[in-house]
Amino acid sequence: MSESEDVRGRLQQMRGRAKELEEAAEKATDPAERRRLQDEAHRLESQSVQVSGMASGDIYPME
pLDDT of residue 4: 75
CB-based contact 33:49 (threshold 8 Å): no
**Each residue of 3-47: pLDDT tens digit?**
778 888 989 999 999 999 999 999 999 999 999 999 999 999 999
Domain count of the fold of the chain: 1
C-alpha dist (Å) from residue 63 to 5, 27, 34, 47, 49: 25, 29, 24, 10, 10
Asked, for residue 62, whether it belongs to a domain, the answer is no
Domain that holds residue 34: 3-52
Q: Distance between CA atoms of 31 and 53, rounded to whole angstroms?
A: 33
Q: Rounded to whole angstroms, how far apart are CA atoms 61 and 48?
A: 11
Judge whether 43 lies within some domain.
yes
pLDDT exceeds 90 at position 1: no
